[in-house]
Amino acid sequence: MNFGGVMENVVTRSEFPLKKALETLKNETIAVVGYGIQGPGQALNLKDNGFNVIIGQRKGSKTWEKAVKEGWVPGDSLFEIEDACKKGSIILYLLSDAGQIQLWPTVKKHLNSGKTLCFSHGFAITYKERTGVVPPTDVDVILVAPKGSGTSLRRMFLENRGLNSSYAIHQDYTGKAFEKVISLGVGVGSGYLFETTFKKEVYSDLTGERGTLMGAIQGIFAAQYQVLRDNGHSPSEAFNETVEELTQSLMPLVAENGMDWMYANCSTTAQRGALDWWKRFRDASLPVFKSLYEEVAKGNEAQLSIDSNGKEDYRVKLDCELKELRDSEMWKTGESVRSLRPERENKNC
C-alpha cells in the first residue's frame, strides 16, 4: 500500500479475514502471560473472536482476581504462569518489560521446539544484551503491537472498530510465522497490520511515548497553561484553551480527515496563526526529538527503564510522580471541567 509516496507491506482484515485466522490457529492454545496493561484487552478479544485462550498469572495477585472477575476460570482458563507456559503452544508474552526479564528463565524452559513466542513490544529482544532474553533457535518469534493501550483496544473492539497494529517476524522456524502473526493480529482486534521489525518497533515506540504521545504533549500542555495563568487567565479558561478544546473538538477532526482538513474547518484567524507558528514549534522541538531518538538508539532509555522499573520501591516512587501530575492545578481543573461535560443523550429514548 502507498503511504505518502512510500510503498509498505500492509495486511487488512478483508485480505486476511477472521475465518482464515481461526482456521490457521485452530489447533493452537494461546497462553497469554500477564494480565496487566495489554493482557486483558488482547485476551478478551481473542476469546470473543473464538480462539482457544488461557491466562497465565500469579495466583493471589490483584491481576489474578481481575482475571477471575472478567470471566477466566481457575484451573480451566486461568493458571499459574508456569502451568500456562506448559499448556500453551503460542505464548503471548505480555508482562511488563521488567517482568519479562524477571520471568524469562521460567518461560524459556517451556519453549519446546516448534512453539511460538509472541511479543507486543520489541524491547526484550532488541536490547537482549541488557535483558538476557534470547529465545531458542527452534521456535517462532513474532510481534503484534497494537498502537494504543489495552483499554483502547478492548473499547474499540466492543464498538466493532479496530486499533491498528504493527507486526514483525524475528524467527521463522516452522515456516508458518507469517500466518501465525497475522492471525494473532486479526484475533486481538487490529484494524490493519503494517510490517516493521522488533528494533524499529521499540525505537518508534519509546520515542513516541516520550514524545508526542505522552511526554511532549504533557510538557506543551504545562507550558501553555502556565503562560495563560501567569497572564491572569482563570484556571477554567486556561484549561479549556489548552486541553479541552484540543481533545474534545480538534483532535477528532484531525482523526477524521487530517490536519489540513481541520485547519480548513476552523476560523480564518485560527488558520493564519496556526500556519504562521507551526514551523517555529517544529524547529524548536526538532533538536529535542533528535536527542531523544539518539538516547533510544544507544540503549540509554532502555537501561533507565530497566534500572528504575526493577527496583522494589518503583511503584511507590511512581505513585508519587503521578500524584504530582494529578494534584497540579491544571489537572485538578481538568477534573472539574470533565465533571461539567454534558452527558450524551440516550439514543434509545
Which residues does the annotation mark as catalytic? 121
CB 102 within 8 A of CB 77: no
Enumerate residues 6+ apart whose C-beta is below 8 A from 238.
224, 225, 228, 229, 330, 333
| Measured distance between the N- and C-terminal CA atoms of the chain, rounded to whole angstroms | 43
Output the CA angle 319-212-274, nearest 5 degrees: 130
